[in-house]
Amino acid sequence: MTLKQPLPERIRPSTLDGFVGQTHLTPRIAALLNAERLPSLLLFGPPGCGKSTLALLLANAHGTKVLRLSAPEAGLQQLRRSLSGVDVLVLDELHRFSKAQQDFFLPILESGEITMIATTTENPSFSVTRQLLSRLHVMRLRPLGREELMELGRRGGAAQEAPLTDDVLDFLSGMAHGDARAMLNLVEYVAGLPAENRGLDGVRAAMPEIVSRHDKDGDSHYELASALIKSIRGSDPDAALYYLACLLEGGEDPRFVCRRLILSASEDVGLADPQALPLAVACQQAVEFVGMPEGFIPMAQTVVHLALARKSNSSYAAYLNAAREIKLNGPKPVPMHLRNAATKLQKDWGYGKGYKYPHNYPDGWIEQDYLPDGLTERRFYQPKEHGDEQRLTNWWRRLVRQRKPRTE
C-alpha cells in the first residue's frame, strides 16, 4: 500500500475478520466462503456499505484468477478480450450497463464458465433485466450503523497516525449517513488538520455545513418519493414537507418531484378537490420559471395543499376497473349509433343511426346506451361523497336514479 492511495483503499480488509457491517448476512457470507462452488451474485445496497469489499473477499476466496472491472469503463469488446482464463469477474455498477449489454452475460452465466459478482446501488427490480436477475443470487446490504462507522473511523485514524476522540468520531459518523467511504474520507480530512484543531469544536469549525447525501439514482430516490406521496395521501402536511425537504436538500431533480405531485393531485385528491391538478401543473410551470433554489416555495405550497385537501381516488379506480374489463375480455365493438358516418357507405351501413343528440333534449340529457353490447349494465365509476365530488356528482346521481341500474 502507498500513502498516495485514498484512505478507504489503504485500509480495505483482505479477510472477512476485518469486514465491518452487514451482520444480518454473516451466516450467508460464511456459507458462501465455505461453499465448494461460488454462485453468481448481485450485491445491492447504498454507496459505501461494503459491496465491492465483500465482492473481492468472496472472489479471492474462490478464484485463482479474479478480474475486477467497473461497468462505466468496460465496453463489451474489452470484456470479451479480458475474460479469457478468468475464474471470477467482479463487476461494479452493473446498472450502468444497458439492457442490451446485460444480455452479454446470459450465456456466460448459463454455462457456468465464469462466476460473476456484480454490485449495484440501484434497485435491481428496475435496473437489471429479468433474464439476468434470474441467474443471480441477490444480497441486499444495509447502510452502516453509527458504531460500525466509528469503528472504521478508529482504524482510519490509526492508519493516519492521528487517533480521534469518540465525540469527534460520533460527529463524523452522523455526517457520513451510513457511508463507510464518506466516513473514511472525513477522517482523512480531519487527520490532516493541525493537532490542536482535531477536537470536536475545531472539527465543527472546519466543516460548518453538513451536506446531506441523497443518491438520486439509488434506492433512497424511490423510498423518499414514496414516503412523500404516502404522506400526502395520508393528509399529513408535516411529514410531506419533511420528505420534500429530504428530496430537494439532497439534490433531487425538482422536475421529478413536480411530476410526482401532478400524479398525486389526480390519483389521490382527484374530484374531491378539482383545483388540485391545476395547482400541481401551475407548480411545475412556476418551478421551471423561477428555478432553484426558490422553486421550493411553490412546491411547498402545493405539497401542503395536496396534504390538506379531501381525498378521492374514484376516477383513478374507475379507470383501473375499465382497464381490467378490457384485459379480461378484450375491447368490444363500438355501438353502431355512436359511430361517425363520415362517408355515404358508412351511413348505408347504419353508422350513427338512432343516435340522440343530448343538447336537443331538456337538461341536455336523454337516456341511451353508450357502452358496447354486453356491458350496458356495468358501472366502472363509483363516486365518493368527499369534498367537491359530492357537489359535482349530484346532477349525475339524479340521472342514475332515472336509468336502469348497472352492476359494478
pLDDT one-digit tens code per residue, 202-241: 888 877 554 444 455 455 667 888 999 999 999 999 999 9
Cα torsion 376, 382, 388, 391: sign: positive
- Give exposure, 27-45, as e/b (b: 16+ Cβ within 10 Å): eebeebeeeeebebbbbbb
Mean pLDDT of 322-338: 90
Mean pLDDT of 52-56: 90
pLDDT at residue 80 greater than cutoff 80: no
- Can you give the pLDDT at residue 211? 47
- Can you give the pLDDT at residue 209? 52
Between CA 347 and CA 341 the distance in angstroms is 5
Between CA 389 and CA 295 the distance in angstroms is 31
Mean pLDDT of 362-367: 82
> 100 vs 4, 182, 303, CA distance in Å?
38, 33, 39
Backbone phi, then psi, for 284, in 5-degree steps? -60, -45
- Can you give the pLDDT at residue 402? 59
Q: Is 261 helix (H, G, I), strand (E, B) or coil?
A: helix
Q: H helices of 128-215, where?
A: 130-133, 146-159, 166-176, 180-191, 200-206
pLDDT at residue 408 greater than cutoff 80: no
Mean pLDDT of 116-120: 91
User: DSSP code of 115?
Assistant: E
- Can you give the pLDDT at residue 286? 94
Q: What is the pLDDT of residues 241-291, one digit of tens each?
A: 999 998 888 778 888 899 999 999 999 999 999 999 999 999 999 998 888
- Can you give the pLDDT at residue 276? 95
* pTM of structure: 0.56
**Quick one: three-class SS letters along 55-72?**
HHHHHHHHCCCEEEEEHH
Q: Is residue 121 within 8 Å of 46, Cβ to Cβ? A: yes
Q: Is residue 54 within 8 Å of 141, Cβ to Cβ? A: yes
> 293 vs 51, 240, 305, CA distance in Å?
34, 18, 20
Q: Which residue has the cell 361523497?
A: 385
